[in-house]
């Protein structure tokens, strides 16, 4: 049996092992899908759909990172805060409340936290940090940007963990579940070794290892997940992935929050980087596939709206935007609380007569699909087939065409 070793020599980090051959994907396999996605975007993606995907991703990536910190913010509230950012306005209501000597609330905190994340994302899009030039000071500045103004809430919120914005942790009081991070006196040296490792391993896997090991160090008093996720996003783009910023691993982590924490804790508690690095690879590949699914749904929706303006037909056929084909019973199940069965049957028959949907019968079972064919389906089928061979788990919203 081959000796299992650590990619690090630092006292604390050297406890963590990593075996690259056990990962589900190679870097070349991930890069191939991203290259195909870029080619697809160039040839087949409608510019309006692309613009919507980019805008949606910027919002959802920031929203997802805030949700990792158990934010109470709704997506609409996040959109309202994001609109301030788009208008180049600052978030002043907190300072205004303090001037009026009013108490700050959890919702106030969540809005400022989200604003900081979204603002940091946008500033890094304009002036990204590169792997070649990253320093420990850059990581501290990133934390400072993400945690700006948040420590004022120590006076107003219970069980608040201060950030000490822009400063590495100066105590050994922090725990992640049963896991104890690096002693604070070893953080500076540990971060420096991680940076050297990343510069020597400018690969997709290298970034994933860096993310996992940086969180294992837990260099800051609070806000470590935010720092790690944003650096991951920026570094993947530095490697040439996701050049149009169409997808985000952070949003995948948000949708798979239970598995995200499960595999993160597995890596920490078992001192095995593979668990979380594998999840990062999964998030990358399935996020790319998710872009194709969103594009396909957008094209189906566009087809449907061009075929009819009948609200009842649109209601009946709406489930076919996200699913290529559905049985009669499943199609009806989606609207049974909004429409009588006979009305549903009549509208579905009308849509069939008008050639908006195609009917397929297998024995006594009837299936329906929109009468539209797009190249996205072939690519999506191919990518999904590949992913299913490599992964033991694929979420239903991605797995189903």
**Of 61-70, 192-201, 208-217, where does mean pLDDT reach its minimum?**
61-70
Per-residue pLDDT tens over the stretch 364-373: 999 999 998 7
199-211 average pLDDT score: 98
Is residue 369 one of the residues assigned to a domain? Answer: no
Examine the pLDDT at 25 and tell me if it is beyond 60: yes
pLDDT score at 87: 81
Q: Which pairs with CB-CB distance under 8 Å and at least 24 residues apart come from 147-150?
A: 147/116, 147/222, 147/223, 148/116, 149/94, 149/112, 149/116, 150/109, 150/112, 150/113, 150/116
Alpha-carbon gap, residue 87 to 89, rounded angstroms: 5
Per-residue pLDDT tens over the stretch 281-333: 999 999 999 988 888 888 899 899 999 999 999 999 999 998 889 999 999 99
Phi, psi (5° rounding) for residue 133? -110, 0
Alpha-carbon gap, residue 112 to 149, rounded angstroms: 8
249-277 average pLDDT score: 95
From residue 28, alpha-carbon distances to 33, 50, 127, 211 in Å are 9, 25, 27, 20
Is residue 337 one of the residues assigned to a domain? Answer: no
Query: What pTM, to 2 d.p., does this model score?
Result: 0.90
pLDDT score at 40: 81
Examine the pLDDT at 148 and tell me if it is beyond 70: yes
Is residue 325 one of the residues assigned to a domain? Answer: no
Assigned token pair, 348: 């579905």
Examine the pLDDT at 231 and tell me if it is beyond 60: yes
pLDDT score at 401: 66
- Strand arrangement of the beta sheet that strand 326-327 belongs to: 326-327, 365-370, 357-362
Is residue 245 one of the residues assigned to a domain? Answer: yes
Confidence of residue 11 (pLDDT cuts 50, 70, 90): confident
pLDDT score at 1: 47
Examine the pLDDT at 16 and tell me if it is beyond 70: yes
Per-residue pLDDT tens over the stretch 95-137: 888 889 899 999 999 999 999 999 999 899 888 999 999 999 9
Is residue 331 one of the residues assigned to a domain? Answer: no
pLDDT score at 378: 83
Assigned token pair, 142: 């990133």
pLDDT score at 175: 92
> Which residues have a Cβ under 8 Å from the Cβ of 324 and sit 6 or more positions away?
369, 377, 401
Alpha-carbon gap, residue 159 to 156, rounded angstroms: 10
CATH of the domain at 226: 1.10.3290.10
Alpha-carbon gap, residue 198 to 230, rounded angstroms: 15
Confidence of residue 399 (pLDDT cuts 50, 70, 90): confident
Per-residue pLDDT tens over the stretch 378-391: 888 899 999 999 99
Is residue 255 one of the residues assigned to a domain? Answer: yes
Q: Count of domains in the chain?
A: 1
Residue with the two structure tokens 């579940």? 177
Higher pLDDT, 298 or 46: 298
Q: Comparing C-alpha atoms, which of 46, 146, 393 is closest to residue 252? A: 393
String of DSSP letters for 368-395: EEES---THHHHHHHHHHHHHHH-S---
Examine the pLDDT at 2 and tell me if it is beyond 70: no
Range of the domain at 42: 13-294
Is residue 128 one of the residues assigned to a domain? Answer: yes
Assigned token pair, 86: 């788009």
Q: What is the mean pLDDT of the chain?
A: 92
Is residue 365 one of the residues assigned to a domain? Answer: no
pLDDT score at 182: 97
């Amino acid at each position: 049996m081959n000796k299992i070793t650590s990619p690090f020599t630092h006292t604390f980090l050297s406890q963590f092992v990593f075996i690259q051959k056990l990962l589900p994907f190679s870097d070349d396999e991930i890069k191939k899908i991203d290259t195909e996605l870029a080619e697809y975007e160039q040839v087949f993606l409608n510019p309006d759909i692309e613009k919507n995907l980019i805008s949606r991703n910027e919002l959802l990536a920031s929203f997802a990172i805030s949700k990792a910190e158990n934010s109470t913010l709704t997506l609409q509230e996040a959109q309202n805060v994001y609109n301030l950012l788009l208008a180049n306005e600052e978030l002043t209501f907190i300072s205004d409340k303090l001037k009026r000597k009013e108490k700050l609330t959890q919702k106030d905190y969540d809005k400022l936290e989200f604003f900081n994340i979204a603002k940091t994302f946008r500033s890094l899009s304009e002036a990204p940090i590169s792997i070649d030039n990253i320093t420990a000071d850059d990581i501290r500045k990133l934390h400072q940007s993400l945690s700006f103004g948040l420590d004022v809430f120590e006076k107003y919120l219970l069980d608040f963990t201060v950030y000490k914005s822009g400063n590495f942790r100066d105590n050994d009081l922090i725990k992640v579940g049963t896991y104890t991070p690096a002693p604070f006196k070893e953080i500076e040296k540990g971060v420096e070794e991680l940076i050297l490792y990343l510069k020597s391993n400018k690969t997709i896997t290298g970034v994933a290892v860096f993310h996992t090991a940086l969180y294992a160090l837990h260099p800051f008093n609070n806000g470590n997940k935010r720092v790690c996720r944003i650096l991951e996003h920026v570094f993947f783009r530095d490697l040439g992935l996701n050049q149009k910023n169409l997808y985000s691993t952070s949003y995948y982590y948000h949708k798979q929050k239970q598995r995200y924490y499960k595999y993160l804790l597995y890596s920490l508690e078992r001192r095995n980087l593979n668990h979380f690095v594998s999840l990062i690879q999964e998030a990358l590949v399935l996020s790319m596939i998710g872009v194709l699914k969103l594009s396909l749904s957008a094209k189906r929706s566009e087809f449907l709206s061009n075929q009819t303006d009948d609200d009842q037909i649109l209601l009946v056929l709406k489930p076919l935007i996200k699913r290529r084909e559905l049985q009669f019973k499943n199609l009806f199940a989606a609207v049974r609380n909004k429409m009588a069965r006979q009305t549903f049957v009549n509208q579905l028959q009308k849509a069939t007569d008008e050639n908006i949907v195609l009917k397929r019968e297998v024995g006594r079972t009837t299936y329906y699909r929109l009468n539209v064919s797009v190249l996205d389906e072939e690519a999506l089928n191919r990518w999904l087939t590949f992913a299913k061979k490599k992964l033991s788990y694929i979420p239903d919203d991605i797995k189903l065409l």
